[in-house]
A and B are shown apart, each in its own frame.
Chain A
Amino acid sequence: MKRSDAGAGEPMDESDFAILDGIREIFGQADPMPADLPERIRFSLALRDLEAEVARLVEQEDPRLVAARGAEPGRTITFDSDSLTIMIRIDPNQDGTVRVDGWLAPRQRREIEVRTAAGALLVASDEQGRFAFASVPRGTARLSVRPGERGQGGSGRPVVIPALVL
């Protein structure tokens, strides 16, 4: 029986590259990158703080998987950085804006900023680590936790999370 991978290990030729070109074309059409993704990334990077810890997405509940059509329930997203876990819940307001509730763990008082195309909003978390933005415009938003006082389980470094689409 002929080996199905005969020719493996030989130098690649033009037909190989033509096949790869074909694969690129097919996937580029079948499952293209969202056109606005690079722009959102540039937005994130422009607001970066080299000193900052970057929190990473841990978990995201996708409402489309759990909710019936029509009612738009809150979305809960958890991010982790070296020093902090940040959980946020996004709920739509009647007026088209969204409400963002958040929790910091370990619980601590910190200033939290959310930056959108319309400007920046600043709130502080309470001793339980809870914070809330009652009304944030929809669109791309960047949330960051400002540096806290060292000690008390907190870190002196700011923490940023990837840009979100609210």
Chain B
Amino acid sequence: MVDEPRSVTAPAGRPDRNARIAGMVDEARQGSMDALGQLVTELSPLLWHTARAAGLSSDDAQDVVQTVWMRLLSHLDGIRTSAALTGWLVVTTRREAWRVRAAGRRQLPADHEWFSVLPDARPGSDEQVILDDQRRELWVAIGQLPQRCQELLRIVAFVPRPDYQAVAAELGMAVGSIGPTRGRCLAKLRALLAGGSQR
């Protein structure tokens, strides 16, 4: 399937979304619970996957996501753009996740337990989705990546595209002068996918 080529540096809808998010941040700063609630709805999945990618249990991940939103309240003054908001949230979530993980005495979840949970491996689930070959190949390839790459790619996949560049920079990934560049992890994944099709 070939998509229409689109500019990566200015995807359609980017100005709208950025303006909308920045507007909600402004309103939240002025005390609008409604605006804050919309930000929570929109960005919590990213924070959840960031916390889980760091190896937290479900309970700890939920606590961390909640804590991060609470802490945002005292940091709203310094945040003016969508990219700054997303970047702050991701970095703070990772930091909190590491802190909770380091403080936990208990056994950590088995090395990224979610990797054993293929979506179609749960018989009887109403939500059961049979992955097509492409998805399965992708899943297998991700599993072959170093853990750090799995974590980074999982986070990045949930970052809204317009904020990608800012978040990639925060995560220590290279960013080109014009637009986001392909990081090493993504390049490795592509190599694995290409190798897989030669079988």
Contacts and interface: CB of A to CB of B under 8 A. Distances in A.
Contacts, number: 173
Contacts of A37: 44, 48, 62, 65-66
Contact of B117 (A21, A31, A45): A31
Contact of A62 (B106, B131, B182): B106
B73 A11 contact: no
Interface string B66-101: 110111011000000000000000000000100110
B191 A5 contact: yes
Given A59-B103, A62-B59, A45 B37 contact: yes
Interface in A1-29: 2, 4-29
B186 A16 contact: yes
Interface in B1-28: 3, 5-6, 8
A59 B181 contact: no
Nearest to A57: B63
B59 A45 contact: no
Interface stretch (A46-54, A106-114, A124-132): A46-54
Interface residues of B, number: 73
A5 B186 CA distance: 8
The 9 lowest CB-CB distance pairs between A and B, nearest first, are: A33-B48, A8-B187, A23-B157, A29-B119, A5-B187, A24-B157, A31-B114, A162-B66, A5-B184
A19 B179 contact: no
Contacts of B100: 57
Interface in B108-131: 114, 117-119, 127, 129, 131
Interface residues of A, number: 53
B162 to A, nearest CB: 12
19 contacts: A4-B192, A5-B187, A7-B191, A10-B181, A10-B182, A14-B5, A17-B161, A22-B135, A26-B131, A29-B119, A29-B127, A30-B118, A34-B62, A38-B41, A45-B70, A48-B70, A57-B64, A59-B103, A59-B105
B49 A54 contact: no
B185 to A, nearest CB: 8
B146 to A, nearest CB: 10
A155 to B, nearest CB: 16
A61 interface: yes
A64 to B, nearest CB: 9
B172 interface: no
Contact of B156 (A8, A20, A57): A20
Contacts of A25: 135
Contacts of B70: 44-45, 48, 54, 160, 162
Taking each of A41, A62, A65, A162, which has the highest tally of chain B beta carbons within 10 Å of its own beta carbon?
A41
A60 B88 CA distance: 26
A24 B8 CA distance: 18
Contact of A19 (B154, B158, B181, B190): B190
